[in-house]
Amino acid sequence: MLDASRRWRRDGKSIGLVPTMGALHEGHMSLVHKARKENDVVVVSVFVNPIQFGPNEDLDRYPRDWARDLKMLEGAQVDAVYRPAADEMYPPDASTRVHVGGVTDGLEGAARPRHFEGVATVVTKLLAAVDPDRAYFGQKDAQQVAVVKRLVRDLDVGVEVRVVPTVREADGLALSSRNVYLSPEERKAAAVISAALREAADIYASGERDPVRLRAHLAARLALEPLVQTEYAELVDAATFQKPGTLAVIAARVGKTRLIDNHDLEKPFPG
């Protein structure tokens, strides 16, 4: 991969990287399309990163469909797909991990210990292998975005982090590879997550600024759906993930499926 990247650079070409774990959907493809517009060469990595999954999480059953992924990427005229094996990324004696402090302390970091250490490590390795000018991430994973931005800043990595808006279904549900786990009844119930964010944005637009009241509305709206169990509903700063802020963030379980979403209340909710 790095040899190919060096050849492109010798030819004066700019490189965009879209890191994914496969099971591609239109959310991923929005990153690819953005990268296609802004770079001469587009590389998509497909790697289900084992070290960002906890012991009781869904690593073994995480959706995988390599043939479909490749067809989608070919259709989008991606220049290269980087698909390393797990033992290539992490040899048996590999002992180095990348830890980003502060921004990883709460919310997803607290709910999923060592998750962001796994994310930071794999992103560092992908950036080293591809050496892109720009790397593309989705706003849906807002805390991951904050972690990557801090990593790139603190380690002086010469890459621009580009953030692409969340792609949503018609009812507002954020696209996620894990949505395939939802039963029809759960899928319908899951729309309450985006509904809570939409209503909080409307309340904010009407003049409400008290983070306690805004958070209470998020929690109350989510509680109306019996199939949804809220893990957290908070307002944080988008860069530091410290409270308070205007980024409304939610994590909830719909049946056995864990979903996350977020929205900056200073902006109108899309749709």
- Is residue 211 within a helix (H) or strand (E), and if so which, with residue range? helix 211-223
DSSP 216-255: HHHHHHHHT-TTEEEEEEEEE-TTT--SS-SEEEEEEEET
Buried b or exposed e, range 77-112, using 16+ CB within 10 angstroms = ebbbbbebeeeebbeeeeeeebebeebbebbbbeeb
Q: Is 153 exposed, middle or buried (0-12, 13-18, 19+ CB in 10 A)?
A: exposed
Number of C-beta neighbours around residue 63 at 10 A: 18
* Dist. CA 219–CA 216, nearest whole Å: 5
Question: One of 28, 115, 217, 263 is an active-site residue; which one?
Answer: 28
Q: Is 115 a catalytic residue?
A: no
Amino acid in position 34:
K
β-sheet bridge partners, residue 15? 41
End-to-end CA distance of the chain: 39
Q: What is the maximum span of the chain, computed from C-alpha positions, in angstroms?
A: 58
What burial class does residue 249 get, using C-beta atoms within 10 Å of its C-beta: 0-12 exposed, 13-18 middle, 19+ buried? buried
Annotated active-site positions, please? 28
